Amino acid sequence: MSIIHKEGLEKQFIFNLKECNTTGFNDPLNEDVYSPSKGLIHRYPDRVLLTITNRCFAYCRFCFRKKNWSHFPGFDLSGAVKYISDHKEIREVLISGGDPFTLNIKHLESILKNIRNIKHIEVIRIGTRVLTSNPITVTHDYVGIIKNYKPIWIVAHINHPDEITPEFADAAEKIVNSGIPILSQTVLLNGINNDKKTLKRLFCKLAGMGIKPYYLFGCDQAVGNRHFRVSIDEALEIMRSLRCNISGICMPAFAFDLPNGGGKVVLEPETIVSRQNGRYILKNFEGRRYIYEDV
C-alpha torsion 211→215→219→221, nearest 10: -130
8 A C-beta contact, residue 186 and residue 238: no
Active site residue 220: yes
CA pair distance 174, 167, nearest whole angstrom: 11
Which residue has the CB atom at the shortest distance from ligand SF4?
63
Determine how many CB atoms are found less than 10 A away from the CB of residue 171: 26
Total length of the chain: 295
CA pair distance 258, 261, nearest whole angstrom: 6
Given candidates 40, 50, 56, 156, which one binds ligand SF4 under the rule CB under 6 A? 56
Active site residue 243: no
Binding string, residues 59-98; x marks residues near ligand SF4 by CB under 6 A: xx--x-x-------------------------------xx
In the region spanning residues 183 to 242, those forming contacts with ligand SF4, defined by CB under 6 A, are: none
Nearest C-alpha neighbor of 84 from the set 127, 128, 115: 115
CA pair distance 65, 99, nearest whole angstrom: 12
Question: How many chain residues interact with ligand SF4 (CB under 6 A)?
Answer: 10
Half-sphere exposure (Cβ direction) of 101: Cα atoms closer than 13 Å: 25
Query: Which listed residue (65, 125, 129, 240) is catalytic?
Result: 65
| Binding region for ligand SF4 (CB under 6 A) out of 57-65, 168-176, 243-251, 286-294 | 57-65
Binding string, residues 6-25; x marks residues near ligand SF4 by CB under 6 A: --------------------
Within 8 A by CB and 6+ apart from 190, the residues are: 219, 227, 228, 229, 230
Active site residue 47: yes
Nearest C-alpha neighbor of 64 from the set 185, 195, 175, 146: 185
CB of 49 to ligand SF4, least distance (A): 12
CB of 220 to ligand SF4, least distance (A): 10
Query: Which listed residue (27, 34, 38, 44) is catalytic?
Result: 44
CB of 289 to ligand SF4, least distance (A): 41
In the region spanning residues 114 to 133, those forming contacts with ligand SF4, defined by CB under 6 A, are: 129
Query: Which listed residue (116, 201, 212, 264) is catalytic?
Result: 264
Given candidates 31, 99, 163, 220, which one binds ligand SF4 under the rule CB under 6 A? 99
Query: Which listed residue (56, 66, 125, 142) is catalytic?
Result: 56
8 A C-beta contact, residue 200 and residue 247: no
Interacting residues with ligand SF4 (CB under 6 A): 56, 59-60, 63, 65, 97-99, 129, 157
- The catalytic residues are 43-44, 47, 56, 60, 63, 65, 220, 257, 264
